[in-house]
């Protein structure tokens, strides 16, 4: 058997146990993504994933939850409704292992993870530090403001959430 390098997708990160984040993977990343044993991908972008990624998801029998396509335009930021819908999927432990994915894994993914961190009770300085690590020089202050103003009361925590949410 030939040795195969495992190359993570752009902006790959471990959020919590069995919860990952990254930008849309390409063929070089598929062997790495396969090792995650994903059950669900939450795709938070206006655009559809590319066909090769869709084929990979289908081949791996991974559920694709495309959130936001009807509520976002190609220029809009993520919406409150998109975040709440996404968090409902993320808080359902039957969807695990799960990945949060957008085109580059930076803005929509970062905003969603930031809102999850706020729901977990993280302080804003820590949330923004994590957001900025993935956004790099392309930080969007509007996303940080969105996270800061996000009303966590809009999210219902299930009776049996993932253990990191208890």
Q: Any idea which residues carry the catalytic annotation? A: 102
Contact criterion met (CB below 8 Å) for 128 and 144: yes
Return the closest-CA partner of residue 86 out of 112, 60, 106: 112
Question: d(Cα 113, Cα 87) in Å, to the nearest integer?
Answer: 9
Report the Cα 48 to chain-centroid distance in Å. Answer: 15
Question: d(Cα 84, Cα 65) in Å, to the nearest integer?
Answer: 13
Question: d(Cα 21, Cα 71) in Å, to the nearest integer?
Answer: 21
């Amino acid at each position: 058997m030939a040795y195969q390098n495992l190359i993570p997708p752009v902006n790959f990160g471990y959020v919590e146990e069995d919860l990952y984040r990254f930008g849309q993977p390409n063929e070089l990343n598929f062997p790495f993504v396969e090792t995650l044993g994903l059950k669900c991908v939450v795709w938070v972008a206006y655009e559809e994933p590319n066909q090769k990624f869709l084929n990979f998801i289908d081949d791996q029998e991974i559920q694709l939850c495309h959130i936001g396509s009807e509520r976002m335009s190609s220029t809009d930021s993520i919406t409150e409704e998109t975040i709440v819908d996404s968090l409902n999927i993320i808080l359902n432990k039957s969807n695990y292992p799960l990945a949060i994915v957008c085109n580059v894994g930076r803005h929509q993914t970062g905003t969603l993870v930031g809102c999850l961190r706020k729901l977990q009770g993280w302080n804003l300085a820590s949330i923004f530090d994590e957001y900025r690590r993935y956004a790099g020089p392309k930080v969007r202050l509007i996303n940080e403001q969105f996270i800061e103003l996000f009303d966590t009361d809009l999210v219902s925590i299930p009776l049996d959430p993932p253990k990191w949410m208890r």
